[in-house]
Amino acid sequence: MARRLKVFCWSDGLTAHTIAASSRAKALAAWGFHRDLFKDGEAREVEGGPDYDAALAAPGETIRRDLARPPSPHTGRATRVAQRRAAQRARLEQIEASITEVTEEERAADGEIAREREALARKEARLAQRLRARRDALEDKRDEVRARLRR
């Protein structure tokens, strides 16, 4: 026989987290806590409230409610779906912002590399000109010495 579901709640001050579970331990595990929030007085069993019915309708799923906004009269599946979509949209915006940041870094790096290439090309041209002038001067001296030897 299945154990009777109980409804447990805790809050971080900004969000209320409510879940229907058969035990405190299962509620803590679903919330991802290893320490006992019940012992600390941060979590408690509830027998009513704005999220009570929604939690019982979806056992094992955490119902989250923003405490900055007034509670919705219907905190059910539609609200959970909307919350998930809002979280996914927020995550998408975060990822897109990161992509933009990486793209800007890439453009800056490309510009810096282009400047370095131009500087290296100028250095290469100066060096080639200097070496060509030295080689030409040496070849001229060689030709003079050969001409003297032939006389």
At 143 the pLDDT is 95
Contacts 24+ apart (CB under 8 A), 58-61: 58/20, 59/5, 59/20, 59/21, 60/19, 60/20, 60/21, 60/26, 60/30, 61/19
Give the closest residue to 7 by CA, choosing from 57, 60, 41, 47. Answer: 47
The answer to whether residue 48 scores a pLDDT higher than 60 is yes
Tell me how many helices (H) and strands (E) the chain has: 4, 4
- Other CB atoms closer than 10 Å to residue 65's CB: what's the count? 22
In sign, the C-alpha dihedral spanning 43, 47, 50, 54 is positive
User: Is pLDDT of 146 > 70?
Assistant: yes
What does the pLDDT read at residue 55?
87
Average pLDDT score over residue span 59-79: 72
* Exposed / middle / buried, residue 136 (Cβ in 10 Å: 0-12, 13-18, 19+): exposed
Res 1 pLDDT > 50? no
